[in-house]
Amino acid sequence: MFTAELSARNARSGLLALLTSAGSTRFFETTEPLACSRGRGPAEARCAPGGCDARLGTRALAERPTCAAARQEESRAATETDLQRALRTPNVTLGAGYMRDFGTNQHRFGITVPLPIFGRNPGGVERAEASVACRRAA
């Protein structure tokens, strides 16, 4: 029983610290709704009348780890799509060299342009676009 009460008290103080409440020593029940303490010090400056609950909800959603992970995954999927689209165009390679062979000096220059006859990476692009569409639908 003592451990449960201590855990609840620690959770309450942690919640008050996260909400940056000025009166972090006061006791509150965990079943009551979140509300501003208007007229009691610095909390009055942070909360506009009638707008505190909405801002707390918006802030909680913005800082929620699962939402941050979803945003990161969406960004990763978009980057993967860009990569797969870039891979369908061939890379042009330039080369230069100098060769000396038994008294003859040679300068060599070359350019390599692969011809994309068969493969233009359609599977990779489709897979990446499907991943983005799946993330948006979820």
Element (H, E) at 21: none
Q: Number of folded domains in the chain? A: 1
Residue positions counted in the chain: 138
Q: What is residue 42's predicted lDDT score, i.e. its pLDDT?
A: 46
Residue 45 lies in a domain: no
Residue 71 lies in a domain: yes
Alpha helix segments (H runs only) across the chain: 2-18, 43-46, 52-63, 65-87, 122-137
What CA–CA distances, in Å, run from 2 to 11, 75, 123, 137? 14, 46, 60, 46
Residue 69 lies in a domain: yes
Tell me which residue range forms the domain holding 71. Answer: 53-86+125-138
Q: Is the pLDDT of residue 17 over 60?
A: yes
pLDDT digits (tens, 9 = 90+) for 73-129: 889 988 999 998 888 888 889 999 998 888 888 999 999 988 877 777 788 888 888
Query: Between 71 and 11, where is the model more confident?
Result: 71
Residue 59 lies in a domain: yes
